Structure 1
């Protein structure tokens, strides 16, 4: 796992009057408009049950409690509903402002208790790694849904969908459909219980947008998507030539997930 180190001296020198302009530019503006959350998505690939257990033990016993303490945020932890072989593990970490992303990494980097409790995962040897691969992306919430919504803790499954675009312009145009043309409102009106909508700002396969919606079970999922496709408002939006999927979307990925018993989402 890659970790960033932050230079303590920069915090001290930032207080010096001689660099006031630079310090002012770097200072986090927690009240700046418009307020939008950020979401980090980590996806772990394993080759064995033992690897998955090591990673899940770390997140359940060390990482999730630490994030609750540092950020006061729920961490979503999910496995695949119908994995092809060993399941992947999906971790969703919300940040109410971007600066908390850097702040959490700094706090963990310097937390001796965290490194001691998480040693089996954090210091796993090269000949017995805790996972085979970790893919990470950071997303910024859409303007029309700037804060996550946690669904009720009842029987539920989640669909994580990603729309990849061939160009930056196409990606922005697709996001415009959600933000400005009412697509998010359709999801809410039809009871999809969306958790978040995010544009990937760091990560693989950019440009892309990713979102998560909630269902009771697979039958409920099928019923909701049929209602969406048949919805008159969706038909009106999708019929506009400039919003044709053939122009804006190069690939759609759908992954069905189930929350672990320690997931905060």
Structure 2
């Protein structure tokens, strides 16, 4: 292995270990073959000029290059109801943790990527392409180890983050999704989930994040109403160990719409 690659991988894996010390979550980077990892980026922008720079970068440079490296179905989204200038949400799937660790070095060696993305990659400090990027690394749930791309056409997406008071509460909520059938209830009721991910590195840990999709806001309201009254959900949620008051300390829901370049 080249020394630069070794040092980079060591620093990143070391950072992950330092963030997850003496925790059962520290073993989460190890995954069964076929389990995807996701990078969820949130671009904070100040104006439409920055929005166009970021969207053009993904359309012309990043998405083609990432697809070539094996990251298929890259999602790019804007907020459905932004407060001021929209943020841009980007979901990048990786086939393994090694792919995530090595992607930047491979992009740096891609001349076409650097040429197509130059206006974004080399934007001057006086006119940056974005204000800041928030980024999280997620591991797909056992019961849904790969992303499922929803149907094309007019649709909206809901990105939901469940925060937990403790790591043990987070593990119990994962159990509820994977083993107690919560993911199956979502699919049965037609929520069309895109992914479910445990946050390994990112803000507001411990938490899990997932994305579901609907035709429109009326469909969203109808689906959640059906979920709340579903007999299987009532049975699962009535189990004392699965009480939301014990497992979920805060829920953040963000409504999104796909950008023109989005592959999801």
Residue in 2 that maps onto 1:63: 62
Aligned to 1:3: none
Aligned equivalent of 2:3: 7
| In 2, Cα distance between equivalents of 1:177 and 1:79 | 30
Give the conservation status (yes or no) of the 8 Å contact 2:61–2:114.
Answer: no
How many Å apart are 1:102 and its aligned residue?
A: 1.8
CA contact (8 A) 2:73 2:149 kept: no
Q: What's the offset of the Cα at 1:111? A: 2.5
Change (3 A) 1:120 1:243: same
Corresponding residue for residue 212 of structure 2? 213
**Structure 2 counterpart of 1:75:** 74
Q: How does 1:103-142 map to 2 (within 5 A)?
A: 103-142=102-141
C-alpha deviations, 1:96-155, integer Å up to 9, x for none?
A: 222111222120122333223212111112121111110001110000111111111122
Q: 1:9 to 1:141 in 2, by over 3 A?
A: closer
User: 1:29 matched to which residue of 2?
Assistant: none
1:85/1:10 Cα in 2 relative to 1: closer, same or farther (>3 Å)? closer
Say if 2:58 and 2:261, in contact at 8 Å, map to a contact too.
no
Query: Residue 230 of structure 1 aligns with which residue?
Result: 229
In the other structure, the counterpart of 1:37 is 36
In 2, Cα distance between the equivalents of 1:9 and 1:55?
A: 27
**RMSD over equivalenced CA pairs, Å:** 1.6
Q: Output the CA distance in 1 between the equivalents of 2:64 and 2:123.
A: 21
1:33, 1:228 → 2: CA distance?
A: 30
Larger Rg: 1
**Structure 1 residue 10: Cα displacement:** 4.9
- Worse-superposed segment, 170-179 or 66-75: 66-75
Cα distance in 2 between the residues matched to 1:89 and 1:221? 21
**Which whole-Å CA distance do the structure 2 matches of 1:197 and 1:220 have between them?**
21
Deviation at 1:233, TM superposition (A): 0.9
Give the ranges of 4+ consecutive aligned residues of structure 1 lying more than 6 Å apart after TM superposition: none
Give the match's secondary structure for 2:55.
helix
**1:60-81 alpha-carbon deviations (Å, 9 max, x no partner):** 1110111111215111010011
Structure-2-length-normalised TM-score: 0.87
Where in structure 2 are there 5+ consecutive unaligned residues? 8-30
DSSP-derived class of the 2:234 partner: helix
Task: Give the aligned length.
Answer: 240
User: What TM-score do you get using the length of structure 1 for normalisation?
Assistant: 0.87
Change (3 A) 1:205 1:234: same
Deviation at 1:8, TM superposition (A): 4.9
